[in-house]
Structure formats: structure tokens, C-alpha cells
Amino acid sequence: MDVTMNYYTQDIWTWWFAIYLYFGGLGAATLTVAFLTDMYMKQHKELVLWGAISGIILLSVGSALLFWHLLDHFAVIHVLNPLVWILKPDAWIAWGTQFILWMMIWGVLYALPYMVESRFLTGIPLLKSILGWPIVHRLAALCRRFHKLRQRAASLCTMGQPSTALSKGMPVRNLDSTM
């Protein structure tokens, strides 16, 4: 029985692929941790702002590296089409691209109410003019209403869980008194 193992260096994927996966994973994790902390632990405007900004930048850099690595640069137009899930459901690059694209869109929308209120972001001339548009303020108000609805739903979901309810400071009934 031959137990020797041979290791071959792969030469199909270059280091761009590893960088893309690293930036994509780090960006998505940054967005997820920032938003879940804001949703379920406590509101933390700075964490949401900087988590959204850094997560979107990391996702953008990773996606740009991936698209630059692709052989057909015009194929990006087809991959960015939201109907690609219906037209070509077996294209995994399209699934990943759509996930990243929608993660960035929802990341901006989730952080938008905090962006409009941020002194730092409104101090940047270009962002000040964009964040001052009436449509942006209406969209931020809509997102703020979603935040309040989400907070109510999250508190309802944690009512029956004593450990989570205790961390939120909610009153928990004494289980011994019911016996």
C-alpha cells in the first residue's frame, strides 16, 4: 500500500482570487456584525456608520478585483442584471455577485438615517450636497420607520427567551412561582 502524498501547486487561480474572497468575506462580515449588533444588542450609530462604510468599501474592492480577473470584462454587465437568477440559475458567479450587490444596497439603506444625521459625513462637501437632497431625506425617514418596526419585532422575538430578555433589561417572570 502506497501512502505517499504528492502536493501540487495549483496554477488555475491566481492570488487575485484569494484576495477577492478575503475582501468579500471580510466586508460581508463587517456589515453583518455591525447591523446585527445594532438590531439585537443596542443602537450604536457610529458602529453602523463605520461598519457600513468599511464593509461596502471592502466588498467593492473585492468585487472590482474579481471582475478585473474575469476574462470577459463585458460579461459583468450580464452578471449585474437582477434577472440573471431566472435567466441563468446555474451561474454561481451571478448568484455571488447579486448577493454582494444587494448586500451593499441594503447596507447603504440601513445606515442612511445615521448618515443624514452624522456631522462628519455632512461636513464632506460632495456628501453634504447628496445627503441634503429631499429624496435622500424621504428615503432616510422611510428607513428610520423600518428601524422602529424592526426594533419592535426583535423585542417580541426575545420575549420567551430569558437569557436574551435579561440582556435587554426586560422583566422575566419567575419560573419557580408557577410550580
Residue 9 lies in a domain: no
C-alpha count within 13 angstroms, C-beta hemisphere, residue 107: 28
Query: CA triplet 157, 56, 107: central angle to 5 degrees?
Result: 30
133-137, 141-145, 163-167: range with lowest mean pLDDT: 163-167
Whether 72 shows a pLDDT value over 80: the answer reads: no
Residue 170 lies in a domain: no
Residue 148 lies in a domain: yes
Q: 43 — alpha (psi -120 to 50), left (phi > 0) or beta?
A: beta
**Amino acid identity at 17:** F
Residue 137 lies in a domain: yes
Residue 89 lies in a domain: yes
What percent of the chain clears pLDDT 70, i.e. is strictly above it?
Answer: 78
DSSP 64-120: HHHHHHSS-TTHHHHHT-TTHHHH-TT-HHHHHHHHHHHHHHHHHHHHHHHHHH-HH
The residue segments making up the domain with residue 77 are 15-163
Mean pLDDT of the chain: 79
Contacts of 109 (CB under 8 A, 6+ apart): 139, 143
End-to-end CA, the chain: 65
**pLDDT for residue 87:** 83
Residue 103 lies in a domain: yes
Residue 146 lies in a domain: yes
Q: What's the total number of domains in the chain?
A: 1
pTM: 0.72
Residue 178 lies in a domain: no
